[in-house]
Amino acid sequence: MKSKNFMSPIEVMIYSAVLVLILLFGGAKAILYLSTGNDVNVTVTDKGERCKSVGDCKYLIYTDKGTFEDRDSWLNWKFNSSDIYGDIKRDTKYTFHTNGIRVAFLSWYPNIASVQEVK
């Protein structure tokens, strides 16, 4: 008895192309994220909402220098975003060490890797 192929060669090519695009996009985001470390002096104007999507959670921090996100990150080995968010106070000056850039149409914000209050 002859076995059947589950996918035609065209389907294999399409799925392979999609997989390659996903890997390239994810790899590019990781490289971009890790290569854009920056220290920013800010004054926090407001602490935003907690935005939750499937398997992901981030806090938004509004400052005089733009909006930043606070989320856990495997790339930075950072898993204390809730603690950082809880320690940040409105109308206080901080130095944020961030990774990533703002890409509006993808809802990407620079992620806060660490925080130091400016006295």
CB distance 109 to 61 below 8 Å? no
CA distances from 14 to 4, 20, 62 (A): 19, 10, 42
pLDDT at residue 42 in the model: 97
Give residue 3's Cα distance to chain centre. 45
Domains, the chain, ordered by start: 36-117 (2.40.50)
The two structure tokens encoding residue 105: 């149409």
- Beta strands 38-53 and 56-63: pairing type? antiparallel
Please tell me the predicted confidence (pLDDT) of residue 30.
66
What tens-digit pLDDT sequence spans the chain (119 residues)? 555 667 788 888 888 888 888 777 666 666 666 667 789 999 999 998 776 665 667 899 999 999 999 988 877 788 888 899 999 999 999 999 998 888 888 788 999 999 999 98
